Amino acid sequence: MPDPTSRAVREGNYNVDPGVQFWATPPVHGCLVDEVIHPAAYTFKLPDNLSFAEGALIEPFSVGMYAATKAGIKPGDVAAVVGAGTIGIMTAIAARAGGASTVFISDVLPQKLALLDGLEGIVTVDATKEDLGERVRAETGGWGPQVVFEATGAAPAYKKLWEMPAPGGRIVLVGMPVDPVPFDIATAQSRGISLETVFRYANVYQKAIDLAATDGVDLSRFVSETFAFDDSVQAFERFLEGRPTDVKIQIAL
């Protein structure tokens, strides 16, 4: 929750308000309590055709939605996503539903890419066998993707990132690397690239719900397992296993 009178809020960027409180980030411990009081302005109603499980996925989907919004996708643009973790997957789905004709997404773990099997307009690229940039250029007459999302935050992913977008294209930095990464500015300049950074999200929750409620977006497939409330400890233990194919673990009430 941002401070509603701060300058960042007035300018429409409440996510970067230095005074924002996030209910999952220290010093706030999350919402595992019986009752919470939350401002109506930042509370949203789920439509009837979305389950609570899908509702729980609206939060990570909103990060993807915010990334897709900042990308400034034009209808029919070709997009590329580096990394098929939860955020990469959510970004790919948001980019496709948000106007991209095709989204190419790569990962080094084939089982993560398999989570996207059968989704129309999403092409998976096994990064251990194929270079994402080369693949997209091959399928776009050498031009490349107008929009590239970096969703790993892993140092090696940045090596070929700066040359990937089409001339005049855009890189959206979603992954959050712990340390600074080498930035090949000269390459980015020669292609006239712009870059956007993503930090949580702002003004996309309602739109995330609206898109999630369409047939084109099916978040339910990413609920990896549902635990009964009495098995909550098991749910957290499962989360700590860090299975590569786990996107969201739900605890049903």
* Residues numbered 222-251 forming contacts with a copy of itself, rule: CB under 8 A: none
Query: Which tokens in the block code for residue 208?
Result: 């995330």
Cα–Cα distances (Å) from 141 to 131, 135, 145, 189, 251, in that order, read 16, 10, 11, 22, 47
Residues 147-206 that bind a copy of itself (CB under 8 A): 153, 158, 167-168, 173, 175-178, 180-186, 188-199, 202-204, 206
Our CB check for a copy of itself shows the closer of 42 and 52 to be 42
Our CB check for a copy of itself shows the closer of 207 and 238 to be 207
Instruction: Report residue 87: phi and psi, to 5°.
Output: -70, -40
Our CB check for a copy of itself shows the closer of 222 and 249 to be 222
Residues 89-108 that bind a copy of itself (CB under 8 A): 94-95, 97-99, 101-102
**Structural contact between residues 172 and 148, judged by C-beta atoms closer than 8 angstroms:** yes
Residues 106-145 that bind a copy of itself (CB under 8 A): 120-121, 143
Under the binding rule (CB under 8 A), the answer on residue 218 touching a copy of itself is: no
**Structural contact between residues 112 and 87, judged by C-beta atoms closer than 8 angstroms:** no
Under the binding rule (CB under 8 A), the answer on residue 55 touching a copy of itself is: no
Element (H, E) at 162: none
Q: How far is the CB of 198 from a copy of itself (least distance, A)?
A: 6
* Secondary structure (3-state) at 91: helix
Eight-state DSSP code of residue 46: P
